[in-house]
Amino acid sequence: MNGVPFSMLFGGYLERKIGARKSIFIGSLIYTSAICISYFTVQTSYLLLLLTLGIIGSLGHGMGYNCVLIHVQRWLPEHVGLASGLAAAGFGSSAFIVSPVQTKFINPDNYQVNEQGYFTQVDLLERVPRLFLLLTVIFGICQLIGLLFIGDPKSSTKDPITSNGIEAATPNQPHNLSIKEVINSCTFRLIFITFFLNIAWGQISCGLFKAYGMQFIHDDFFLAVVASLAAASNCISRIIWGIIMDKTSYRTSMLSACALGTFLMWTLPTVKAFGSKELFLVWVCLMFSIVGGTFALVPSVIHKCFGAKNFGLAYGFAQVSMVCFCLGFGGRSL
């Protein structure tokens, strides 16, 4: 996933040159092709799998996602928070469908992991490569349907509005800034730092919640349900956070999200102490709703601070914070 920020930069540039539909098609084709090729690489080499699924897949993923964000904001220029929330919700909702499909396909017998936390059942492991072919078909159909609905909105004479709560932090004419001026601005640096810290929190929460739950919940099907409902919470929360930002301000929305996220993370050990599956489900869903808020609020504030023209590249540069986190976290692991 480290390739996503750089691919989002390229996606923003490509969208400027050839338009949204062609750019999204190219990104979708690259991503789906990477999933398909992974059917072969997963059976051959771990390094080749990293190349196809990690690097090539991330390239297509980032290109397509950034182009969709840019395009949907053009349709709702006066409700950028809602627009960003809707686009981010579509991205977040995929796990709601894919997670149970993956679990049912790979582990229909609800096998349990061994003492080291790994699945060793031969029949389960043999299903893994075929999963990539199934996902290729699912993703390909969804992408083709989505491309049919990509179209440019009618041109409007209205001037883009500024956001309440961030006007003091933006230049007088944010839409006339060059991308260099955007990156060097104090506003962008603050957004970058906020994004970095929230991504660190989100990556840890999303990446380790299942491993944490497996310490006291011995039911893979239930954990798959948790993942699906958490994805649904992630999806719905992105829309809600977008609406909240439109109604209040970026500052109010982000402070609320960070405060609630801090409380949930701080109290998470008590869930294991109670040993309750239901409480674990509630906590994970709430934590995912905060993760969803970050990915709705940050693109919204970047659009409102720096304008639609600079959004694609500015958001791509903001996503570089993900690379900074991964490199720092990986370095500590080594």
Distance (Å, rounded) from C-alpha 263 to C-alpha 204? 15
Locate 334 and state its tokens. Answer: 């080594």
Residues 6+ positions from 115 with CB-CB distance below 8 Å: none
| Range 188-192, long-range pairs (CB < 8 A, 24+ positions) | 188/302, 188/305, 188/306, 188/314, 188/317, 188/318, 191/298, 191/301, 191/302, 191/305, 191/318, 192/317, 192/318, 192/320, 192/321
pLDDT band at 165 (very low <50, low <70, confident <90, very high): very low
Q: Is the pLDDT of residue 136 over 90?
A: yes
CATH number for the domain harbouring residue 90: 1.20.1250.20
Average pLDDT estimate for 275-292: 90
**Is 268 part of a structural domain of the chain?**
yes
Q: Is residue 16 part of a domain?
A: yes
Condensed to tens digits (0 to 9), the pLDDT of residues 172-214 reads: 445 578 888 998 999 999 999 999 888 887 777 777 888 888 8
pLDDT at 282: 93
Residue 189 has what pLDDT? 93
- Is the distance from CB of 116 to CB of 87 less than 8 angstroms? no
Decide if 68 contacts 87 (C-beta within 8 A): yes
Reported as type and span, the H/E element at residue 308 is helix 277-333
Sign of dihedral through CA atoms 106, 111, 117, 119? negative
CA angle, corner 316, sides to 39 and 188, nearest 5?
150
Q: How many CB atoms lie within 10 A of CB 25?
A: 18
Q: What is the pLDDT of residue 157?
A: 45
pLDDT at 308: 79
Evaluate whether residue 283 is within a structural domain: yes
> Is a pLDDT exceeding 70 seen at residue 161?
no
User: Is residue 156 in some structural domain?
Assistant: no
In a domain, 278, yes or no: yes
Q: Per the structure, how many domains does the chain have?
A: 1
* Three-state DSSP state, 48: helix
Mean pLDDT, all residues of the chain: 82
Work out the number of other CB atoms within 10 angstroms of the CB of residue 286: 16
DSSP 181-207: HHHHSHHHHHHHHHHHHHHHHHHHHHH
The predicted pLDDT at position 25 comes to 93
Does residue 102 fall inside a structural domain?
A: yes
What distance lies between CA 95 and its chain's CA centroid?
10
Q: State the CB neighbour count (10 A cutoff) for residue 34.
A: 23
Q: pLDDT (tens digit, 9 = 90+) per residue, 90-114?
A: 776 777 778 778 888 988 887 877 8
- What mean pLDDT comes out for the span 146-167? 61
pLDDT tier at 167, thresholds 50, 70, 90 = very low
3, 59 in Cβ contact below 8 A? yes
Residue with tokens 């949930």: 264
Average pLDDT estimate for 211-223: 83
Q: What pTM was estimated for this model as a whole?
A: 0.70
Question: E strand or H helix at 102, and its extent?
Answer: helix 94-106
pLDDT (average), residues 240-252: 90
**Model confidence band, residue 31 (pLDDT cutoffs 50, 70, 90):** very high
Q: How far apart are CA 60 and CA 63, in angstroms?
A: 5
Residue 139 belongs to domain spanning: 4-150+161-333
Give dist(CA 116, CA 113) in Å, integer: 8
CB neighbours of residue 303 within 10 Å: 26
Which pLDDT band holds residue 164 (cuts at 50, 70, 90)?
very low
- Amino acid 326: pLDDT: 61
Residue 171 belongs to some domain of the structure: yes
Task: Determine what percent of the chain falls in helix, strand and coil, rounding each to the nearest 5.
Answer: 80, 0, 20
Between residues 323 and 43, the one the model is more confident about: 43
Residue 155 lies in a domain: no
Q: Which residues contact 18 (CB under 8 A, 6 or more apart)?
A: none
